[in-house]
Amino acid sequence: MRPPMHDPILPGATIGVLGGGQLGRMFAMAARRLGYRVHTLAPEHDTPTGQIADVEIEASYEDLDAVRAFARRVDVVTFEFENVPAAAAEAAATVTPVRPSGSALEIAQHRTREKTFLVKHGFPTAAFAVVASERDLVAAAQIGCPAVLKTAALGYDGKGQVRVDETKALADAWRELGHREAVLEAFVDLEREMSVIGARGVDGAFSHFGPIDNDHRHHILDISVAPSTVAPMLSAQAVEATRAVMETLGYVGILCIEFFVTRNGALLINELAPRPHNSGHLTFDACRTSQFEQQVRAICGLPLGSPELLQPAAMANLLGDLWLDGTPNWQAALAHPAVKLHLYGKTDPRRGRKMGHLTALAATADDARGLVVQARDRLLARAGE
Ligand code: AMP
């Protein structure tokens, strides 16, 4: 018989991961180190997660029979990708615990539901309006310009977004998005972007990694640096907002909140990611417990580990673009002994595709940033340079 929901799922048990990307891969590494077995389900084979998991199932998330069969063979199900249909999480939940829950996934994967949830509970967001029909365009224009029109579902890394510089361009922008439900958001004058990764256990225990500063390039995360240099008051506000969002959702697992800090010193929630996050990759090398290990502990009902940052760190994403002129020069990037290389096992380096990352540790956050940028630049150095 299956144990009641609050009994810990102990090492030796099996964790199921919906999704096959790099987040699942690093989660599987942490889970296997703790002695768990890992099964993964995704619509492809030889996935980054599947390469590390004990069992890889290739099936569509819409194939609910396959999802239920997958869930029957594991002790707890989690996901590494928020665009897993909520119906798949619900199907799995009829068989085994799903953490975080399908209801948290449903909110975080849809901008209208996410923003409505945040506003209802008093969390600050940029001004926005929902555009679901031609008629909504008139009211949405009140948001003013510049603004960004974002599809409500299936957007990430700036995909499904169009900048709107004058109100008369709004109808065209919506056409460009295929007249799908969208959210028009006021453009924020950013002082910085930062994220807080929180963990919440089955017993309600809360832990966080502290704000991490993030730089984006072409809407994709480029560099993350910890600790953040944000003012202590904003740091405390961001951590408290993360705790409160997780508590309101009754959340179990890792949640990342992406924040905007405006030039006027206001803190706004950009979006929720219901899983480990790209900005937390540096926790693998720099923290006593990584975000991935913390996710294992949280969803299995184990005590949370210390999130302490052992040394300032910076992470640089490695996109497929770096492969355009051939294999990157790994030796040159790793010439500095404090630089760590993580590759995700992807064989097709397309432009903009996240292939891996570098982490650098140093005495100060600035030094770590300089080092990781230099190491990444060296990837393009010819042998002998
Ligand atoms: P998103 O997919 O919504 O996180 O957007 C990707 C990136 O686009 C963000 O990390 C920001 O750099 C930028 N961005 C998105 N929305 C806004 C906004 N309302 N104001 C300013 N920059 C934005």
* Residue 140 confidence (pLDDT): 84
Instruction: Assign 168 a pLDDT band (cuts: 50, 70, 90).
Output: confident
Average pLDDT over the chain, rounded to an integer: 95
Q: Is the CB of 206 under 6 A from ligand 1?
A: no
**pLDDT at residue 363 is higher than 70:** yes
C-alpha 214 – ligand 1 centre gap (Å) = 12
pLDDT at 184 over 60: yes
What confidence score (pLDDT) does residue 2 get? Answer: 47
Q: Could you identify the atom of ligand 1 that is nearest to the CA of residue 156?
A: 2
Q: What is the pLDDT of residue 156?
A: 64
Distance 273 CA to ligand 1 centre (A): 14
pLDDT of residue 5 exceeding 60, the answer is no
Q: Report pLDDT digits (tens) over 94-150.
A: 999 999 999 999 999 999 999 999 999 999 999 999 999 989 888 888 898 999 999
If one residue of 270, 271, 272 were mutated to test the ligand 1 pocket, choosing by the most ligand atoms within 8 A of its CB, it would be 270
pLDDT value at residue 385:
59
Query: What is the predicted pLDDT for the residue at 146?
Result: 93
Ligand 1 mean position, distance from CA 4 (Å): 42
Other CB atoms within 10 Å distance of the CB of residue 319:
20
pLDDT confidence band for 298 (50 / 70 / 90): very high
Section 81-87 average pLDDT:
89
pLDDT at 1 exceeding the cut of 60: no
Ligand 1 atom showing the smallest separation from residue 190 Cα: 21
Of 9, 199, 198, 1, nearest in space to 97 by CA: 9
Which pLDDT belongs to residue 119? 97
In this prediction, residues 179-197 reach a mean pLDDT of: 95
82 in ligand 1 pocket by Cβ < 6 Å? no
Is the pLDDT assigned to residue 383 strictly greater than 70? no
Ligand 1 within 6 A of CB of 162: no
Out of 35-39, 159-163, 312-316, 346-350, which region has the weakest mean confidence (pLDDT)? 159-163
Least confident among 2-6, 215-219, 366-370: 2-6
CB of 158 within 6 A of ligand 1: the answer is yes
Whether the CB of 80 sits within 6 Å of ligand 1: no
In the predicted structure, residue 61 carries a pLDDT above the cut 70: yes
137 with 175: CB under 8 angstroms? no
81-102 mean pLDDT: 94
Would you state the pLDDT for residue 366? 98
Contact 186, 127 (CB under 8 A): yes
190 pocket-lining for ligand 1 (C-beta < 6 Å) = yes
Q: Work out the pLDDT band at 158, boundaries 50, 70, 90.
A: low
Higher local confidence (pLDDT), 137 or 318: 318
User: How do 182-186 and 14-18 pair as beta strands?
Assistant: unpaired
Better-predicted residue by pLDDT, 69 or 7: 69
155, pLDDT greater than 80 = no
The answer to whether residue 384 scores a pLDDT higher than 70 is: no
Report the pLDDT value the prediction gives residue 159, as an integer from 0 to 100: 74
119 lines ligand 1 (CB under 6 A): no
H helix intervals, the chain: 22-33, 64-72, 86-93, 102-108, 111-120, 136-140, 170-176, 232-249, 283-286, 291-300, 330-333, 365-378
Residue 154: predicted pLDDT:
79
Going from the Cα of 185 to the center of ligand 1, the distance in angstroms, rounded, reads 9
Tens digit of each residue's pLDDT (9 = 90 or more) over 228-276: 999 999 999 999 999 999 999 999 999 999 999 999 999 999 999 999 9
Q: Phi then psi for 293, rounded to 5 degrees?
A: -65, -40
Q: Which atom of ligand 1 lies at the shortest distance from residue 148's CA?
A: 19
Q: Which residues contact 366 (CB under 8 A, 6 or more apart)?
A: none
Pocket flag, ligand 1, residue 222 (CB < 6 Å): no
Give residues with Cβ within 8 angstroms of 183, minimum separation 6: 111, 112, 115, 128, 129, 130, 131, 149, 150, 152
Given the DSSP bridges, would you call strands 212-217 and 220-226 parallel, antiparallel or unpaired?
antiparallel
Rounded to two decimals, the pTM is 0.95
Instruction: Please tell me which residue, 2 or 377, carries the higher pLDDT value.
Output: 377
Q: How far is the CA of 37 from the centre of ligand 1 (A)?
A: 37
Please determine, for residue 368, whether its predicted confidence score (pLDDT) is greater than 80: yes
- The C-alpha atoms of residue 71 and residue 13 are separated, in whole angstroms, by 13
CA of 274 to the centre of ligand 1 (A): 18
The pLDDT of residue 3 is: 45
